[in-house]
C-alpha cells in the first residue's frame, strides 16, 4: 500500500496543473498516469487557447466578459454562467503564466503572443503556437511538474476508486511495467483522465480516451452530467478521423462541397466557416447526406490552397504533415478530404467550479469533468483553457480541503485492502470465465452503434433502437473473459476492463440523448428541432444503478444571471 496526501489520476494538462498547484502549497502529491504525462492527449490539441489578451490588431476591444458571452452563446445557454466567467477572467493570467513557464507561443513583430480567429468568437482571441499549441502547453507543464518535484507513477492503469463511508480515500492501479495491482491511499483524489471519445468509432481522440475516469466515479455513485452532448468536429481526416484544426479555417481556409461551393454561406452567412462547431458539423453532414459530397463520396473538402505555401508552412505545418502522412494529400497542392468526427465530450463527472464532486475527497478536472462551462457545445480554443483553469482551481480546492482536515484519521487500510482484493478477484474471475463473448468484437459493435445511432442528427426511433443495442452489448459484456491474466503490459486485461467503462459511459450518453426532447447545441434532433428552454434549460444527471444496465436520470438547474438566453444566429 502506497500513501500520498493527494493522488492525481491522469497526467494531461488538467492533472499536471492540479498537481503543481497542490505541490506548490507543500502537499505530498503524486500523479498516476496510463502513459507518460508528455504522451497525454492534451498534446494532440492544435489550434490554440482562448484568452481576451487583445493582442490581435482586430482584438483591441476584446474583454473577458465578451469571451464569457461568446462561450455562453456557443454552448446554447446550457453552461453555468458563474463558472464561465471564472474561466474567461482567469484566461488572461493563465496565458501569461504559461509564457513565464516557457510555453513557446508564436509571436508578433513586437514580441507579443499571436492570436487567431476561432469559431463562434466575436474577436480573434485564440492564442497559439503554430498548430501544435496542445503539444507546447503540455510539454511546458510536464517540465514544470519535474521542476516542482511532483512524484510521477508512469504507466499505471487506474481501475477503481477506494471509497470508505462515502469518502474517496484512494485508487487501485495496475502497474503496467511490473505487472500486478496496488492500492494507493490518499486524502484527496483528482480525476483528470480526459474524454471518452473512443466510445465512438469515428473519433478524433487518442486510443486511450476510453472514459475510464468518468466510469470510475460513476460506478462509485458520483453522477455524470450532460453526457448526451457530444461534439462532432467539422474536420476530421476522411480516412482516419485525425483532427484538422479549426485554426485552418481561422487562418482563412474554406469548406467546399462537391459543387465547389462554400456551403457555409447557406448555414451561417455572417460567421461562415467560423460558426461554432455544432453548426459547421451539421452543415457538412447535410451536404454529405444530400449528395453534395466530393464526387458523391461521404466527405467534403477543407481547402487551404489559397493561403499559399508560406502561410501554411508557418502557421499550419502540423496538419500539413498529418494530411500528407495519413491521407496522402499535401494541403499546399490539394484540398483535404474531411468529415464530421466525434471530437469532444461536453459532459462528464459532475463538479462545481472548484472541481469538487458531490463525493468528499474526490475532484475532477478537464474533459472528464463537467463544470459546466461548455454547455451544449464547446467553442474551439476553450478546452485547453478549461484544463488549465480548472486543473489549478481543483488543486487549490484540494489545498483548502487539506487545511481543514488536520487531525482527521488517515485513510482506512482495511477498506483499501478490500478494494485491492476485490479488483484482483475480479480479474481472476474474468480469467477463469473463459468467456463466450469477445471483448474486442463487443467494443467495435458498441462504437458502431454510437456512431450510427447517436450522430450529428438524432431522432427518437433511431436512438431508441440504438439504446436497445447498447443494452444488449452491456448484457453480453458480462460474458467476456480474459485470455491473459498476469504479467507486464497486459493489453488484453486493460482493453477488456476498458470495455466495461466504455459501455457504461455510452449508456449514459444514449439515455440522456433519448430523454432530452429538444435540440440544443450539439444535441440535434430532427423530431424536436427547436431549443425548448421552458422544459430543458437544465442539466441532465446520470446515476449508476448496480442492479440495472442503464442509469437513473435526474436534473439540475443551470446557473444563469448574466446573459439572457436568446436565439443563436451566426
Partner 1 sequence: MAEITFRVKRQDPTDKKNPEARWEDYKVPFEGNLTVLEGLFYIQEQYDGSLSFRYCCRASICGSCAMYINGAYRLACQTNIKHLDIIHDAEPVVTVQPMPHVPLVKDLVCDMDDFFAKYEYIEPWLIRNSQDPEKEILQSPKDRKQIDMPIDCILCGCCYSSCPSVWGEENYLGPAALLKAYRFEVDSRDEARKERLPRWDNERGVYRCHTIRNCQEACPKELSPTEGIQWLKKAAVRRRLFGRMK
> Where in the sequence numbering do the catalytic residues fall?
277
Q: Considering CB under 8 A, how many residues would be counted as binding partner 1?
A: 60
Pairing outcome for strands 348-350 and 369-370: parallel
Residue 429 sits in the site that holds partner 1 (CB under 8 A):
no
Q: With contacts defined by CB under 8 A, name the span among 133-141, 252-260, 288-296, 514-522 that binds partner 1.
A: 133-141
Residue 306 sits in the site that holds partner 1 (CB under 8 A):
no
Binding to partner 1 (CB under 8 A): which residues in 441-500?
A: 482-484, 487-492, 495
Residue 207 sits in the site that holds partner 1 (CB under 8 A):
yes
Pick from 28, 82, 143, 459: which binds partner 1 (CB under 8 A)?
A: 143
Q: With contacts defined by CB under 8 A, name the span among 205-213, 355-363, 523-531, 560-568 that binds partner 1.
A: 205-213
CA dihedral 376, 243, 39, 190 (to 10 degrees): 0
Nearer to partner 1, 33 or 519 (CB): 33
Pick from 28, 82, 99, 175: which binds partner 1 (CB under 8 A)?
A: 99
Minimum CB–partner distance for residue 374 and partner 1 (Å): 22
Place of cell 463487443: 442
Residue 146 sits in the site that holds partner 1 (CB under 8 A):
yes
Residue 111 sits in the site that holds partner 1 (CB under 8 A):
yes
Identify the three-state secondary structure at position 262.
Answer: coil
Q: With contacts defined by CB under 8 A, name the span among 64-72, 110-118, 160-168, 533-541 that binds partner 1.
A: 110-118
Residue 154 sits in the site that holds partner 1 (CB under 8 A):
yes
Question: Cα separation of 6 and 188, whole Å?
Answer: 5
User: Which DSSP category does 335 fall into?
Assistant: P
Place of cell 460558426: 275
Burial call 219-244: b when 16+ CB within 10 Å, e when fewer: bbebbbbbbbbbbbbbbbbbeebbbb
Place of cell 440495472: 548
Pick from 265, 321, 403, 468: which binds partner 1 (CB under 8 A)?
A: 321
Residue 112 sits in the site that holds partner 1 (CB under 8 A):
yes
**Residue 196: CB partners within 8 Å, gap ≥ 6?**
209, 210, 211, 214, 345, 368, 502, 505
Residue 104 sits in the site that holds partner 1 (CB under 8 A):
yes
Pick from 57, 60, 100, 535: which binds partner 1 (CB under 8 A)?
A: 100
CB 296 within 8 A of CB 337: no
Nearer to partner 1, 251 or 287 (CB): 251
Angle at 172 between CA 169 and CA 176, to 5 degrees: 145
Minimum CB–partner distance for residue 488 and partner 1 (Å): 5
Pick from 158, 322, 362, 510: which binds partner 1 (CB under 8 A)?
A: 322
Nearer to partner 1, 107 or 408 (CB): 107
Of 353, 346, 389, the residue nearest 17 (C-alpha): 389
Place of cell 502513459: 35
Nearer to partner 1, 132 or 523 (CB): 132
Distances (CA, A) of 568 to 45, 62, 275, 427: 27, 20, 11, 50
Residue 101 sits in the site that holds partner 1 (CB under 8 A):
yes
Residue 242 sits in the site that holds partner 1 (CB under 8 A):
yes
Could you tell me which residues are beta bridge partners of residue 341? Answer: 233
Residue 363 sits in the site that holds partner 1 (CB under 8 A):
no
CB 236 within 8 A of CB 343: yes
CB 140 within 8 A of CB 102: yes
Minimum CB–partner distance for residue 33 and partner 1 (Å): 11
Within 13 Å and on the Cβ side, how many CA atoms surround 227?
37
Q: Which helix (H) or strand (E) holds 6?
A: strand 6-9
Q: Which residues bind partner 1 (CB under 8 A)?
A: 35-36, 38-41, 43-44, 53, 95-96, 99-102, 104-113, 129, 132, 135-136, 139, 143-144, 146-147, 154, 177, 179, 206-208, 239-240, 242-243, 318, 321-322, 325-326, 440, 482-484, 487-492, 495
Amino acid at each position: 500500500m502506497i500513501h500520498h496526501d493527494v493522488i492525481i489520476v491522469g497526467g494531461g494538462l488538467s492533472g499536471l496543473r492540479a498537481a503543481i498547484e497542490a505541490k506548490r502549497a507543500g502537499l505530498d502529491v503524486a500523479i498516476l498516469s496510463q502513459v507518460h504525462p508528455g504522451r497525454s492527449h492534451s498534446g494532440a490539441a492544435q489550434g490554440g487557447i482562448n484568452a481576451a489578451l487583445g493582442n490581435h490588431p482586430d482584438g483591441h476591444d476584446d474583454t473577458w466578459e465578451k469571451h464569457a458571452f461568446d462561450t455562453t452563446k456557443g454552448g446554447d445557454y446550457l453552461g453555468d454562467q458563474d463558472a464561465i466567467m471564472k474561466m474567461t477572467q482567469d484566461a488572461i493570467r493563465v496565458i501569461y503564466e504559461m509564457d513565464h513557464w516557457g510555453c513557446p507561443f508564436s509571436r508578433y513583430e513586437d514580441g507579443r503572443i499571436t492570436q487567431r480567429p476561432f469559431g463562434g468568437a466575436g474577436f480573434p482571441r485564440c492564442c497559439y503556437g503554430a498548430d501544435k499549441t496542445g503539444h507546447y502547453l503540455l510539454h511546458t507543464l510536464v517540465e514544470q511538474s519535474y521542476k516542482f518535484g511532483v512524484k510521477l507513477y508512469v504507466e499505471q492503469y487506474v481501475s477503481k476508486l477506494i471509497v470508505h463511508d462515502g469518502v474517496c480515500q484512494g485508487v487501485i492501479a495496475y502497474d503496467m511495467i511490473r505487472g500486478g495491482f496496488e492500492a494507493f491511499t490518499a486524502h484527496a483524489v483528482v480525476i483528470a483522465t480526459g474524454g471518452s471519445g473512443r466510445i465512438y468509432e469515428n473519433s478524433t481522440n487518442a486510443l486511450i480516451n476510453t472514459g475510464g475516469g468518468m466510469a470510475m466515479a460513476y460506478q462509485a455513485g458520483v453522477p455524470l452530467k450532460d453526457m448526451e452532448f457530444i461534439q462532432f468536429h467539422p474536420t476530421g481526416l476522411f480516412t482516419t478521423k485525425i483532427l484538422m484544426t479549426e485554426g485552418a479555417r481561422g487562418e482563412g481556409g474554406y469548406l467546399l462541397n462537391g459543387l465547389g461551393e462554400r456551403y457555409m454561406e447557406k448555414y451561417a452567412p455572417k460567421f461562415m466557416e467560423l460558426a461554432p462547431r455544432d453548426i459547421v458539423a451539421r452543415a457538412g453532414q447535410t451536404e454529405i447526406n444530400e449528395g453534395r459530397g466530393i464526387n458523391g463520396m461521404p466527405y467534403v473538402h477543407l481547402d487551404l490552397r489559397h493561403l499559399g505555401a508560406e502561410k501554411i508552412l508557418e502557421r499550419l505545418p502540423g496538419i500539413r504533415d498529418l494530411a500528407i502522412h495519413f491521407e496522402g494529400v499535401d494541403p499546399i497542392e490539394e484540398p483535404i478530404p474531411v468529415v464530421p468526427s466525434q471530437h469532444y465530450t461536453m459532459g462528464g463527472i459532475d463538479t462545481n467550479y472548484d472541481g469538487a464532486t458531490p463525493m468528499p475527497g474526490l475532484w475532477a478536472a478537464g474533459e472528464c469533468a463537467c463544470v459546466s462551462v461548455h454547455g451544449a457545445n464547446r467553442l474551439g480554443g476553450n478546452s485547453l483553457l478549461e484544463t488549465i483553469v480548472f486543473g489549478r482551481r481543483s488543486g487549490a480546492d484540494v489545498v483548502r480541503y487539506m487545511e481543514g482536515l488536520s487531525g482527521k484519521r488517515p485513510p482506512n487500510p482495511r477498506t483499501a485492502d478490500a478494494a485491492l482484493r476485490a479488483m484482483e478477484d475480479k480479474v481472476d474471475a474474468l480469467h477463469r470465465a473463459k468467456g463466450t463473448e469477445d471483448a474486442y468484437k463487443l467494443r467495435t459493435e458498441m462504437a458502431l452503434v454510437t456512431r450510427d445511432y447517436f450522430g450529428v442528427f438524432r431522432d427518437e426511433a433511431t436512438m431508441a433502437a440504438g439504446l436497445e443495442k447498447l443494452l444488449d452489448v452491456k448484457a453480453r459484456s458480462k460474458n467476456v473473459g480474459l485470455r491473459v491474466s498476469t504479467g507486464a503490459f497486459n493489453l488484453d486485461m486493460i482493453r477488456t476492463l476498458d470495455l466495461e467503462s466504455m459501455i457504461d459511459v455510452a449508456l449514459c450518453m444514449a439515455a440522456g440523448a433519448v430523454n432530452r426532447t429538444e435540440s440544443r447545441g450539439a444535441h440535434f434532433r430532427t423530431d424536436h428541432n427547436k431549443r425548448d428552454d421552458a422544459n430543458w434549460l437544465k442539466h441532465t444527471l446520470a446515476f449508476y444503478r448496480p442492479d440495472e444496465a442503464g442509469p437513473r436520470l435526474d436534473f439540475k438547474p443551470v446557473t444563469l444571471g448574466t446573459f439572457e438566453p436568446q436565439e443563436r444566429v451566426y
